[in-house]
Amino acid sequence: MPDVYVYDPDILRHVLTKKYCFKYFIQNNIHSEVKFITDDTTEAKEVFSAVTEQSIFILNCDEYTDELIDSLKQGNPESYIIIVANDFNEILRNMKSGHTPAGFILRPMCQADINQTIGDIISDYTAKNKRCGMAG
């Protein structure tokens, strides 16, 4: 199953994101983990570009969103991206058209948002792996 990587400049949101993901994985008996959380853009770019396994990236929507997406696509262009923003205008301001996230979450984020978005991603990941004859 895909692991999770998080970029958000707000440390309190790191804690909530990790908690929500962890709770979802435990409740659904999914063997994934939150591998990396950072508020540093440079560090995020370095780590994201080195991730070659298909993963889930939860990104704060800001002026660095496009750069971070470009970096993670270097590692694995098939990775799933979740954009977290205050509103849709923020998404429109900070994302270029070539990037297609797997999902969006508007703040304030809650457990149900993570459950729905990651649940959809896990379903897609499992279906793709079954079609390819791989174990999920």
- Predicted local confidence at residue 135, as pLDDT: 54
Q: Are the CB atoms for 24 and 118 separated by under 8 Å? A: yes
> Looking at the domain assignment, is residue 124 inside a domain?
yes
Cα separation, 102 vs 82, in Å, equals 6
**Per-residue pLDDT tens over the stretch 66-111:** 999 999 999 999 999 999 999 999 999 998 888 889 999 999 999 9
> Looking at the domain assignment, is residue 45 inside a domain?
yes
Domain containing 12 equals: 4-131
Distance of CA 103 to the CA centre of its chain: 9
> Looking at the domain assignment, is residue 43 inside a domain?
yes
Identify which has the larger pLDDT, 65 or 136. 65
The answer on pLDDT for 136 being more than 70 is no
89, 94, 96, 102 alpha-carbon torsion, rounded to 10°: -80
> Looking at the domain assignment, is residue 62 inside a domain?
yes
Cα separation, 106 vs 87, in Å, equals 6
Looking at the chain, the whole-number percentage of residues with pLDDT higher than 70 is 98
Q: Are the CB atoms for 59 and 14 separated by under 8 Å? A: no
Q: What CATH number corresponds to the domain at position 107?
A: 3.40.50.2300
